[in-house]
């Protein structure tokens, strides 16, 4: 059963893109954080969502896990934007991003 049609998916993708662009601009303008650091931080955010999802299955745990999943998805967009804005794309960064994505997206 498909709960979302393509229009809804485009809306969610656009929303994540807008939020991640604002965060990436802030990171580039105000910090020295690299794209790889964002990727690693995103993976660290991902770990609690797995633990919470597996914890007890209670409603509150599921809501908190959903929040962490949303944070991970936004950070997954942010790392690429930071790499492009700083012109710091690398093979290692691409590998790191793909490796952490495999844990989340399967």
What pLDDT does 89 receive?
Answer: 85
pLDDT in tens, 13-52: 889 999 999 999 999 999 999 999 999 998 888 777 777 7
Burial 30-50 (b: 16+ CB within 10 A, else e): eeebbbbebbebbbebbebbe
Domains of the chain: 19-105 (1.20.120.1760)
> How many angstroms separate the CA atoms of 37 and 58, rounded?
32
Confidence at residue 8, expressed as pLDDT on a 0 to 100 scale? 63
Residue 64 in contact with residue 52, Cβ under 8 Å?
Answer: yes
Average pLDDT value for the chain: 85
């Amino acid at each position: 059963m498909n709960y979302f049609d393509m229009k809804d998916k485009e809306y969610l993708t656009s929303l994540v893109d807008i939020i991640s662009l604002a965060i990436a601009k802030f990171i580039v303008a105000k910090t020295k954080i690299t794209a790889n650091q964002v990727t690693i931080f995103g993976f660290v955010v991902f770990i609690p969502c797995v633990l919470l999802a597996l914890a007890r299955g209670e409603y509150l745990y599921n809501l908190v896990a959903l929040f962490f999943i949303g944070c991970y998805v936004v950070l997954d967009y942010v790392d690429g934007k930071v790499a492009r804005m700083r012109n710091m794309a690398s093979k290692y960064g691409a590998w790191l991003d793909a490796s952490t994505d495999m844990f989340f997206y399967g």
